[in-house]
Amino acid sequence: MKSFTLPQLPYAYDALEPFIDKETMSIHHQRHHQAYVDNLNAALALADETSTDLESILQRISEYSPAVRNNGGGHYNHSLFWEILSPQPQLNPEGKLAEAINTTFGSLEDVKAEMKKSGLGQFGSGWVWLFVKFNGSLAIASTPNQDNPMMDIQTVNRGFPILGIDVWEHAYYLAYQNKRADYLESFWSVLDWSVVERKYEEVLSKLK
């Protein structure tokens, strides 16, 4: 049976400093994400699942065990998270994504404010998402634990994530302690909008 593996980071653990520190990145990637990968493989083996199409599994997550839901979500969410971060990011969206953001939310600053509000409003561990609904429109929502909008357990906020902010304490506590708001502000300094744009274009193509 094929198994999922931990993706390598496209940058060094200290590359995102001072916004995200080296120790947090190392522990977050090597321990937390690795644990999700290991536990996901074990859970899928128990379920006799041979598919390694994680998107397909998440879209039918109601058919699987809580272990697949938690660890499959953990693997998918973190893989997206690492990909959209960069030490040399494009700091503003462009093209169709910029147009959609302005049409839907008013401005990039409004998106940042709404995602910060959602992040601070998420009780306990979870994620904040900018995602594309099945009708092609943009939306913002938070989810608990390792859930995401792709999962069929979502009754309202369903779609394809293109940007996710990890608000589990392990993502920021070493540097920011209980100051989640400060972490949410710093996040934008290492978000690469060019990757988010590419994901947006890919989703739109998928929905045609």
We report the CATH number of the domain holding residue 170 as 3.55.40.20
Residue 189 belongs to domain spanning: 21-208
Mean pLDDT for back-to-back runs of 10 residues, the chain (208 residues):
89 98 98 98 91 93 97 98 98 97 98 98 97 97 98 94 98 97 98 98 93
166 annotated to bind ligand: yes
Beta bridge partners of 160: 132
When divided into structural domains, the chain yields a total of 1
Q: Which residues contact 106 (CB under 8 A, 6 or more apart)?
A: none
Is residue 56 a part of any domain in this protein?
Answer: yes
Helix (H, G, I), strand (E, B) or coil at 191: strand
User: Does the global pTM surpass 0.75?
Assistant: yes
**28 appears as a binding residue in the annotation:** yes
The reply to whether 7 falls in a domain is no
139-178 b/e (C-beta count within 10 Å ≥ 16 → b): bbbbbebbbbbbbeebeebbbbbbbbbbbbeebbebbbee
pLDDT of res. 2? 67
Q: In what order do the strands lie in the sheet with 159-166?
A: 138-144, 126-133, 159-166
29 assigned binding-site residue: no
Which residue has 């996710």 as its token pair? Answer: 164
In a domain, 185, yes or no: yes
For residue 1, what pLDDT is reported? 55
Give the position of tokens 């302005």.
102
pLDDT of residue 71: 98
pLDDT at 161: 98
Q: Is the Cβ–Cβ distance between 191 and 84 less than 8 Å?
A: yes
